[in-house]
Amino acid sequence: MSERQQEYIPALSFRFLTPFFDFIQKYIVRDVRYKSLLIDQANIQPGYKVLDLGCGTGTLAMMAKEAQPEADVTGLDADPEMLEMAVEKSASQNIDVKFDTGFTDKLPYPDASFDRVLSSIMIHHLKTTEKEATAREVFRVLKPGGELHIIDFGKPVSLYGKLLGPFLHGFEEANDNIDGKLPDMFGAPGLKTAISGHFYTFFGDLAFIKGIK
């Protein structure tokens, strides 16, 4: 096992929780609602090539394909067990999505490969240096005029979110999110970024971020 694989932490922190990932996302986090809003924001057109970063069990990638059947959608994740679930789920629903194994800070794709890059509740799992490297990789694989669309924890704007803020700030990987640094971090390589909206959950305030190359 490589050092990188040893450092990898499953999406729910503990491997035994992986089979319950979709249940928790759907019924506790309400992921279908905010993922639908993210896809609406992305405005995916026929013929577009779309990449879902940290796709997990493939829900966002599959929803993107259903929203625009004539798009070419790829999901990427570092967790083989999650990807196995994604492949099985997409096959059972007859949704044609490609799934690749890889890390977001070293994407296995050529320059200018995608019209849209999406990410849902994944960026806060990355350390600062990994976020910065991921931002550079996203800029590299986007086509000119291509767009990045993220939903993830952001700087709290609701009272409830502000109460949760200090707790979330205790996790190293979440600090950049809670401090509102993501737009600048993903804008640094050259994207024009902005916060385009918010979504409120039991776990804290989420921010929609849009970046244009």
Query: What are the residue ranges spanned by the domains of the chain?
Result: 3-212
Only one residue has tokens 């993501």, namely 182
Closest C-alpha to 107, from 51, 151, 163, 177: 51
Q: Count how many residues are written for the chain.
A: 213
User: How far is 33 from 25, CA to CA, in rounded Å?
Assistant: 10
β-strands 49-53, 114-120 pairing: parallel
**Which residues have C-beta within 8 Å of that of residue 66, sequence separation ≥ 6?**
95
Give me the phi and psi of 153, to 5 degrees please: -60, 140
The reported pLDDT for the residue numbered 26 is 52
Q: Would you say the C-alpha torsion 210, 101, 175, 184 has a positive or negative sign?
A: negative
CATH fold for domain 3-212: Rossmann fold (3.40.50)
Q: How far apart are CA 19 and CA 23, in angstroms?
A: 9
Distance CA 176, CA 120 (A): 16
Provide the pLDDT for residue 23.
43
**Mean pLDDT of the residues in the chain:** 87
CA-CA distances (angstroms) from residue 212 to 118, 183, 193?
12, 11, 7
What is the pLDDT, as a whole number, of residue 103?
Answer: 95
Task: Please choose, from the candidates 63, 62, 99, the residue with its C-alpha nearest in 3D space to the C-alpha of residue 80.
Answer: 99
- Residue ranges in the chain modelled with pLDDT below 50: 1-7, 9-23, 27
Dist. CA 26–CA 28, nearest whole Å: 6
What pLDDT score was predicted for residue 25? 56
Assign residue 58 a region: left if phi > 0, alpha if psi is -120 to 50, beta otherwise?
left
- List the beta strands (DSSP E) in 54-167: 72-77, 98-101, 114-120, 142-153
pLDDT, position 89: 92
9-23, pLDDT tens digit by residue? 444 444 434 444 444
